[in-house]
């Protein structure tokens, strides 16, 4: 059986499983659509939250960013897990006690203002649409590879599938489908990592293998990796290259953003009790950590394997010959990925060999000139690394099929969940709640579908020329959520003094400044070539646009406090509401408006 | 009376949150990033302790923190009689 058929088989079987579970679970529990997670054990809920949370960015993109950059991108690891500490300590139990279903509802009630609710809806939509653009980038990579078409075609096919998936939509409410998706994606991520860890370090646990010894050389794996990438002129793997300020702000943006993303927060509104909201965040992080502890090992080991393949005679010897790449089955993955346009080989100096090195490194100029190299001859898109990883390591065909299924599970579940969050914000919070309160249920549903179609069209269009790799685009979405939603929620709980004017001003300043800063560096509305600055030479104090979310959050806090201090106190009943949110006693079931 | 005990409960909660957040910041921003040079003498598998904290250690501490907080708070809920 060829690889293409095998991939189709795995992807098809996993989809059949999700749909089967959805039909089976739905038959008994249509009425529980809104209350997903009610009466579900915190461990099961944690697994479902993990599936909802881990997207194409975590699954496909993150390990690649770590592999080709090294230590600096540990920010993704710390940021996307550290946010759960903020969620568990600062938001989840109180939002559960409050007992409504959506983030704009909480903000609208706490700040006793329809304007605040409207602004929260806008913040939510801006952050979620940016997030979907990142997902679509990942969807394009996954579909492109497994259908063996170019990236853009893959993206368009993926968009149709995501749309269909989200419209059949009830799946979001079906916790067990997400549990199945979690199991598929974690298995798909772990199995190849275990094989590769055994090959390279002899340790079956990738997280331990990363800090173990490289079998072939007998040296510690990371020391060996540092040495070979340095010989090719790349920056060393374990040293910091980014400046301290950007790394700290970037990590902080990702953490605050995690705690400000509506589709994650929503899961904690509906657990049975306040105590469960505290446990659920912990269980979600357990299941997320299983992937996140493996990811840095996947990155480092893949970098090692690629470098070894390109330099079979060692990094100081001759590079791999073009003939070997074309005829040796170990190099088949390169031909496969060339079809997607995300990997390119070019024998620039015509010496019949493929030199993979950093042609911008001054230290390597001498060697390059002496050996007649005229530039780097292999370009790899970071986002393909996780999917290509089993092929690079020559693992059996079924492992490759499995990872295709896992990547699609990660991208589709999150993209569909986000589209549902956007469509419910538009139809429920915006139209039904604000503009046309007497709208019929039928036209509410229609509005939701239209909102979904518009969101996916925008995301697909921008996904063809994305502002960055999948995880980088997603990082921008986190910056936007960090600067707008998290501060409003936190101040709503921890301060009785913040009033409606303060919260609205804070959100507008936080979101506005962050959005403008991002557009100045990534192009207005992310349209290429409309930017005035680049992240290599940023506008303010060297702060990159991906790191700016933390600054936006601080501006939000400062504005809200200043404006509230200089205007009147919130009314007594709102202060009583805040007092009651802080105490678990008397929490009823969550209620919808 | 209930008012006072609710205030004490909230103060105890805030104290616990502060301790947890100090540890949260120390392992990630501290050991993982800013204080990494200070830990460079302690080697772990071909690199140093700060690198381990940045890629794995901080995640493990985050997990421990969330479960510790949940356990302590559930006990606090009972002590102050504010549980559901």
What secondary structure letter does DSSP report for A30? G
ipTM, 2 decimals?
0.95
Which sign, positive or negative, has the C-alpha torsion A310, A314, A318, A323?
A: negative
Closest chain B CA to residue A212: B45
Which one of A210, A247, A585 has the shortest CB-CB distance to B82?
A585
A148 band by pLDDT with thresholds 50, 70 and 90:
confident
Tell me which residue has tokens 């702000």.
A249
With an 8 Å Cβ cutoff, is A550 touching chain B?
A: no
Domains of chain A and CATH, by start: 3-305+391-581 (1.20.1730.10)
At A446 the pLDDT is 81
- Distances B31 to A295, A396, B69 between C-alpha atoms, Å: 20, 40, 21
pLDDT > 70? residue A199: yes
pLDDT > 50? residue A592: no
* Distance from C-alpha of A57 to C-alpha of A291, rounded to nearest angstrom: 12
Q: What sections of A34-150 are H helices per DSSP?
A: 42-53, 56, 62-69, 74-86, 92-98, 103-110, 114-146
B20/A221 Cβ within 8 A: no
Residues in CB range of A531: below 8 A, 6 or more apart: A519, A520, A521, A522, A523, A524
* Distance from C-alpha of A311 to C-alpha of A313, rounded to nearest angstrom: 5
Percent with pLDDT over 90 in chain A: 35
Rg, C-alpha atoms of chain B: 17
pLDDT > 50? residue A35: no
A84/B32 Cβ within 8 A: no
Tens of pLDDT along A178-187? 888 889 889 9
Phi-psi label, residue A586: left if phi above 0, alpha if psi -120 to 50, beta otherwise? left
| CA–centroid distance for A327 within its chain | 37
Which sign, positive or negative, has the C-alpha torsion A321, A327, A329, A334?
A: positive
Best mutation target among B2, B19, B51 (most A Cβ atoms within 10 Å) is B51
Helices A74-86 + B58-79 axis angle, to 10 = 0
Average pLDDT over residues A321-337: 88
A172 band by pLDDT with thresholds 50, 70 and 90:
very low
At A591 the pLDDT is 52
Cβ neighbour number for residue A183 with a 10 Å cutoff: 17
Give SS3 for A344: strand
Cβ contacts (< 8 Å) between A259 and chain B: which residues? Answer: none
What secondary structure letter does DSSP report for A213? B
Residues in CB range of A576: below 8 A, 6 or more apart: none
At B50 the pLDDT is 93
Contact A77, A295 (CB under 8 A): yes
A93/B74 Cβ within 8 A: no
Both tokens of B72, joined, read: 């302590």
Q: How many CA atoms within 13 Å lie on the side-chain side of A87?
A: 35
Mean pLDDT of chain A: 86
Best mutation target among A58, A78, A224 (most B Cβ atoms within 10 Å) is A78
* Distance from C-alpha of A518 to C-alpha of A525, rounded to nearest angstrom: 9
Beta bridge partners of A353: A321
Tens of pLDDT along A383-438? 888 888 888 888 888 888 888 888 888 887 788 778 877 887 888 778 877 777 78
Q: What is the nearest CA distance from A1 to chain B, expressed in angstroms? A: 39
* Distance from C-alpha of A82 to C-alpha of A258, rounded to nearest angstrom: 8
Q: What is the nearest CA distance from B15 to chain A, expressed in angstroms? A: 12
Can you state the percent helix, strand and coil of chain B, rounding each to 5?
Answer: 80, 5, 15
At A31 the pLDDT is 39
Contact A206, A297 (CB under 8 A): yes
What secondary structure letter does DSSP report for A526? G
* Distance from C-alpha of A532 to C-alpha of A523, rounded to nearest angstrom: 8
* Distance from C-alpha of A291 to C-alpha of A186, rounded to nearest angstrom: 7
Contact A128, A512 (CB under 8 A): no
With an 8 Å Cβ cutoff, is A77 touching chain B?
A: yes
Phi and psi at residue A190, to the nearest 5°: -80, -40
pLDDT > 80? residue A19: no
A584/B84 Cβ within 8 A: yes
* Distance from C-alpha of A401 to C-alpha of A474, rounded to nearest angstrom: 26
Q: What is the nearest CA distance from B31 to chain A, expressed in angstroms? A: 12
Which one of B13, B45, B83 has the shortest CB-CB distance to A212?
B45
Contact A475, A514 (CB under 8 A): no
Tens of pLDDT along A232-250? 989 889 989 889 999 999 9
Q: Which of residues 14-73 of B touch A (CB under 8 A)?
A: 17, 20-21, 24, 28-29, 32-34, 36, 44-48, 51-52, 54-56, 58-60, 62-63, 65-67, 69-70, 73
A–B: how many Cβ contacts below 8 A? 137
Stretch (H or E) spanning B48: strand B47-48
Cβ contacts (< 8 Å) between A90 and chain B: which residues? Answer: 17
Tell me which residue has tokens 């079998």.
A215
With an 8 Å Cβ cutoff, is A215 touching chain B?
A: no
A82/B24 Cβ within 8 A: yes
pLDDT > 80? residue A503: yes
* Distance from C-alpha of A237 to C-alpha of A389, rounded to nearest angstrom: 18
Both tokens of A425, joined, read: 């914000």
B6/A78 Cβ within 8 A: no
At A169 the pLDDT is 54
With an 8 Å Cβ cutoff, is A272 touching chain B?
A: no
At A463 the pLDDT is 82
B70/A89 Cβ within 8 A: no
With an 8 Å Cβ cutoff, is B13 touching chain A?
A: yes
Q: Looking at per-residue confidence, does A593 or A104 come out higher?
A: A104
Closest chain B CA to residue A219: B46
Cβ contacts (< 8 Å) between A587 and chain B: which residues? Answer: 84
At A585 the pLDDT is 83
Tens of pLDDT along B23-68? 999 999 999 999 999 988 888 888 899 999 999 999 999 999 999 9
Three-class secondary structure assignment of A539-574: CCCCCCHHHHHHHHHHHHHHHHHHHHHCCCCCCHHH
A26 band by pLDDT with thresholds 50, 70 and 90:
low
With an 8 Å Cβ cutoff, is A82 touching chain B?
A: yes
Three-class secondary structure assignment of A360-393: CCHHHHHHHHHHCCCCCCEEECHHHHHHHHHHHC
Mean pLDDT check: name the lowest of A273-287, A442-456, B7-21. Answer: A442-456
E-only strand ranges, A313-435: 320-321, 343-345, 353-354, 378-380
* Distance from C-alpha of A152 to C-alpha of A10, rounded to nearest angstrom: 23
pLDDT > 50? residue A593: no
Cβ contacts (< 8 Å) between B4 and chain A: which residues? Answer: none
């Amino acid at each position: 059986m060829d690889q293409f058929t095998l991939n189709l088989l795995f992807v098809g079987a996993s989809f059949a499983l999700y749909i089967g579970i959805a039909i089976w679970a739905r038959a008994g529990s249509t009425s529980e659509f809104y209350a997903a997670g009610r009466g579900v054990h915190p461990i099961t809920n944690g697994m479902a939250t993990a599936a909802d949370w881990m997207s194409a960015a975590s699954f496909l993109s993150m390990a690649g960013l770590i592999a080709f950059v090294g230590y600096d991108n540990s920010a993704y690891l710390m940021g996307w897990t550290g946010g759960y500490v903020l969620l568990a300590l600062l938001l989840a139990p109180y939002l559960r006690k409050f007992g409504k279903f959506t983030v704009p509802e909480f903000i609208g009630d706490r700040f006793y203002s329809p304007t605040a609710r409207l602004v929260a809806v806008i913040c939510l939509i801006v952050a979620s649409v940016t997030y979907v653009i990142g997902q679509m980038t990942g969807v394009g990579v996954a579909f492109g590879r497994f259908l063996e078409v170019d990236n853009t075609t893959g993206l368009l096919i993926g968009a149709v599938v995501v749309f269909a998936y989200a419209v059949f939509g009830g799946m979001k409410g079906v916790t067990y489908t997400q549990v199945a998706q979690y199991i598929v994606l974690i298995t798909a991520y772990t199995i190849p990592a275990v094989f590769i860890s055994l090959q390279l370090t002899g340790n079956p646990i990738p997280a331990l293998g990363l800090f173990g010894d490289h079998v072939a050389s007998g040296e510690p794996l990371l020391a060996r990796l540092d040495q070979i990438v340095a010989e090719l002129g790349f920056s060393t793997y374990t040293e910091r290259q980014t400046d301290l300020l950007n790394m700290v702000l970037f990590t902080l943006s990702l953490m605050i953003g995690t705690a400000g993303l509506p589709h994650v927060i929503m899961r904690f509104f509906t657990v049975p009790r306040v105590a469960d909201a505290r446990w659920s965040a912990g269980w979600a992080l357990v299941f997320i950590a299983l992937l996140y502890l493996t990811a840095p090992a996947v990155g480092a080991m893949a970098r090692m394997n690629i470098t070894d393949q390109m330099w079979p005679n060692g990094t100081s010897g001759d590079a791999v010959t073009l003939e070997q790449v074309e005829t040796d089955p170990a190099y088949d993955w390169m031909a496969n990925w060339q079809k997607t346009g995300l990997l390119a080989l070019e024998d620039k100096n015509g010496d019949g060999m493929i030199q993979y090195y950093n042609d911008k490194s001054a230290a390597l100029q001498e060697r390059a000139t002496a050996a007649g190299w005229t530039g780097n001859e292999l370009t790899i898109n970071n986002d393909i690394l996780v999917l290509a990883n089993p092929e690079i390591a020559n693992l059996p065909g079924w492992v490759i099929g499995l990872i295709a299924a896992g990547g699609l599970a990660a991208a589709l579940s999150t993209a569909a969940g986000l589209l549902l969050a956007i469509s419910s914000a538009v139809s429920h919070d915006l139209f039904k709640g604000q503009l046309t309160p007497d709208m019929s249920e039928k036209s509410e549903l229609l509005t939701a579908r239209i909102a979904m179609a518009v969101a996916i069209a925008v995301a697909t269009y921008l996904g063809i020329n994305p502002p960055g790799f999948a995880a980088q685009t997603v990082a921008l979405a986190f910056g936007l959520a960090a600067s707008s939603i998290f501060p409003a929620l936190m101040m709503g709980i921890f301060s009785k003094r913040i009033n409606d004017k303060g919260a609205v001003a804070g959100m507008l300043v936080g979101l506005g400044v962050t959005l403008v800063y991002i557009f100045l560096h990534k192009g207005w509305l992310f349209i290429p070539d409309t930017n005035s600055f680049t992240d290599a030479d940023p506008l303010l104090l060297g702060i990159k646009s991906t790191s700016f979310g933390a600054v936006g959050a601080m501006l939000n806090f400062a504005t809200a406090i200043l404006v509230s201090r200089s205007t009147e106190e919130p009314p007594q009943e709102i202060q009583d509401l805040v007092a009651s949110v802080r105490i678990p006693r008397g929490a009823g079931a969550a209620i919808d408006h | 009376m209930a008012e006072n005990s609710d205030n004490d409960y909230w103060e105890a909660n805030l104290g616990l949150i502060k301790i947890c957040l100090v540890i949260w910041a120390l392992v990630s921003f501290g050991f993982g990033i800013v204080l990494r040079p200070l830990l460079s003498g302690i080697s772990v598998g071909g690199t140093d302790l700060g690198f381990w904290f940045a890629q794995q250690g901080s995640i493990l501490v985050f997990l421990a923190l969330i479960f510790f907080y949940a356990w302590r708070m559930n006990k606090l809920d009972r002590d102050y009689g504010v549980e559901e």
